[in-house]
Structure 1
Amino acid sequence: MLHGMAGSDPALVTLVLGDEELLADRAVSGVVAAARAADQAAEVHDLFGGKVDPGELTRLSSPSLFGDRTVLVIRNAQDLGKDVIAEVVAYAGNPSDDTVLVLVHPGGVKGKALVDGVKKAGAHVVTVNKVTKAGERLDFIKSEVKRAGRGIASDAAQALLDAVGHDLRELAAACNQLAFDTHDKTITLEAVARYHKGQAEVSGFTVADSAVEGRLADALEQLRWALGTGTAPVLLVSALAGGLRGLAKVGGAPRNLRGGQLASHLGMPPWKVDRVRRQLNGWGPEGLSRALQAVASADEQVKGGGADPAYALEHAVQTIVASRTGR
């Protein structure tokens, strides 16, 4: 009974065990997706171990008057209190048909009574241990590329691993980006080398330069790469704001100042002044004002006012490019 209901329904109790966060998140998402495929009205409760009170599991798993399924995800299950662990273990031995319970535990000694108890009760166990060996990481790269509908040559996979490093989230982002940006069925060593030669040094300043110069496709590609390889959204917003403020400073400087005098007045090195003056081509006061407002809005969203920093940043970049009148 415990290991599943009809067809491809998920198990009534699943233990995701191990300390590889990306794979743990995917395992949870897989169970939630399977539950929603079986019942579109399924209600999902995402809880954290340290904040689950005694009796909460019983309350949330009680049958609904409408017969809808409930999905309970308890992350950091090692932080559950002793009373709650006892409640969860007892529940796992006799779970509700209307509830799918997912417990996420990193392994280790803390909360071991929970792991042992739900295993003994017959919970479905998904193990997601750290990917530590180079061979395992290469297998991960190949499987990620395959998920995206592509293949990757062995030397290309090694080059990607060397370029990106060991973090699984960054590797996954790089694989997805490469699959998106290359059109060949199999990603080659040349494709990886070409891609990383142009992309490895992407920073917020690179994105900002492309945006203020009106190069939308470049700016969006660089933005996605920077986010995918771990650049903090707040740094990208800061760089965009800095690029626009540079335009405003140089554009508003006294006309009679030239060369070193202008650089000194603005507090910018001469090479930077020259670059910003070239970037000013096509910009007017109204467009600059609109672009600055868009970045201020993105800043607010990235710092907690919005749900999706990537979307906020992409929208800001699109607005900056659209606000530049010259082409």
Structure 2
Amino acid sequence: MAAARGAKTRIPQLDWSEARPAPVVLVSGPEGFLADRASQAIRAALLEAHSDLEVHDVDAAGYTAGELFTIASPSLFAEPRLIRVEGVEKCSDAFLEDAKRYVAEPADDTTLVLRHGGGQRGKALLDLVRGGAGGGVEVLCAEVKKDQERLAFAQAEFRRLGAQITPGALRMIVAAYSGGIGELAGACAQLVSDAGSRLTEEEVNRATEGRVETNAFKVADAATAGRAADALVLLRQAFSTGTDPIPMLAALNMKVRAMARVYGARGSSGQLAKELGMAPWQVDRAQREVRGWREEDLARCIDLAAETEWLLKGGSRDPEYALEKYLLFVAKRGR
């Protein structure tokens, strides 16, 4: 994999699937699911070698001075340690100072995992680690968002699970679970568990039929097509079968974001697909769905999406009504 910071990087840079222990491990990049996978792999490798491993979790944002050195100091029985630090991109000043001191001379029999999701906060520490302080490695967890990247990820998941899947079936499962890759990974595992290790379009169709994700996209398709009555009926049918509002909102938001990305864009579907990280068919569909929208209404729709998410996650006693209101706003193109 190409170096993330050019000539300044003097430590090995690994794909998330190659994560391994080192005195200091920098897990960088915005893809949280892959970062979790990498951290789990490091813990598993350490546990295999040391059954008495001590694991400590630290929140960099709430860190207090001296905490890192207290955890890393030798105990009576000298058990090996794994110290996992979350949220380095939001770290306190105290953590930044202590961590810079620590990586200059890491403790024996200790693995320090630094999780940095992106941004400039903590850059001085990252530069130290990348420059070779602590004898560390960097695990890169780039966002998986392009269609080809998602297809490759799903293919690797099936391979890891010992399953074979036809190209058409692979495309179907990726299209059916177009949210986060954690959701996609879970769908791959469930499909293998339910249908076995040789998968075709027929098995995928059976597995996805009637699932929450399928219902959610039917609702979203009706809303973005301007069929308000159909969308409302489908939404209420989904609620009546116990569907949670959150995945319904996620499906609708995905389509709204695609519409916002193509609004006002000029060029062929192929050109725009490359620029926007979308598939050509996604560009074509989003351009069809955004017709009839005014810029100010689309901007209000984006604001309403965030407001609705807050209402669904505890901000309202009636989340179903909040989602209905947002759905109708989309279906009526903000009017």
- Superposed CA offset, 1:205-254 (max 9, x none): 547xxxxxxxxxxxxxxxxxx89x9699xxxxxxxxxxxxxxxxxxxxxx
What is the correspondence of 1:69-88 to structure 2 with a 5 Å cutoff?
A: 69-88=80-99
Kindly indicate whether residue 107 of structure 2 is the aligned counterpart of residue 107 of structure 1.
Answer: no
Deviations 1:63-94 (A, max 9, x none): 11101111110000122223421321221122
Residue 194 (structure 1) aligned to one of 187, 206, 210: 206
- Counterpart Cα distance in 2 of 1:230 and 1:27: 26
Identify the residue that residue 149 of structure 2 maps to in structure 1. Answer: 136
- Give the equivalent residue in structure 2 for 1:181: 194
- Distance (whole Å) between structure 2 residues aligned to residue 84 and residue 47 of structure 1: 10
1:127 and 1:189 map into 2 onto residues whose CA distance is 33
- Distance, in Å, in 1 between the alignment partners of 2:240 and 2:63 is 44
SS at match of 1:54: coil
Structure 2: how far apart are the matches of 1:173 and 1:205?
A: 25
Equivalent residue, structure 1, for 2:161: 148
SS in 2 for 1:50: coil
Find the residue that maps to 2:61 and give its secondary structure. Answer: helix
Give, in whole Å, the separation in 2 of the partners of 1:166 and 1:25: 17
Provide the secondary structure at the position in 2 that maps to 1:115: helix
The whole-number CA distance in structure 2 between the counterparts of 1:108 and 1:153 is 39
**Superposed CA offset, 1:172-223 (max 9, x none):** 111111010012x32111211122124334968547xxxxxxxxxxxxxxxx
**In structure 1, C-alpha distance between the alignment counterparts of 2:248 and 2:164, rounded to whole Å:** 27
Q: Given the two structures, how large is their TM-score scaled by the length of structure 2?
A: 0.57
In the TM superposition, what is the alpha-carbon distance from 1:17 to its structure 2 partner? 0.2
How far is the alpha carbon of 1:25 from its aligned partner? 0.7
Contact 2:63 2:94 in 1 (8 A): no
Provide the identity percentage.
35
Letter in 1 for 2:146: K
Tell me the number of residue pairs that the alignment of Structure 1 and Structure 2 aligns: 208
Query: How far off its partner does 1:168 sit?
Result: 0.5
Secondary structure of the equivalent of 2:64?
coil
Are the structure 2 counterparts of residues 188 and 9 from structure 1 closer, same or farther at C-alpha, using a change threshold of 3 Å?
closer
Structure 1 residues 231-242: aligned runs within 5 Å? none
Matching of residues 300-315 of structure 1 within 5 Å: none
Alignment partners' CA distance in 2, 1:125 and 1:162 = 32
Shift of residue 11, structure 1, vs aligned partner: 0.7
The aligned counterpart of 2:128 is 117
* TM-score normalised over the length of structure 1: 0.58
Q: How far apart in 2 are the matches of 1:206 and 1:182?
A: 24
CA deviation string 1:276-327 (max 9, x = no partner): xxxxxxxxxxxxxxxxxxxxxxxxxxxxxxxxxxxxxxxxxxxxxxxxxxxx
CA distance in structure 2 between the aligned counterparts of 1:45 and 1:206, rounded to whole angstroms: 42
Aligned Cα RMSD in Å? 2.7
**Contact 1:13 1:124 (8 Å CA) reproduced:** yes
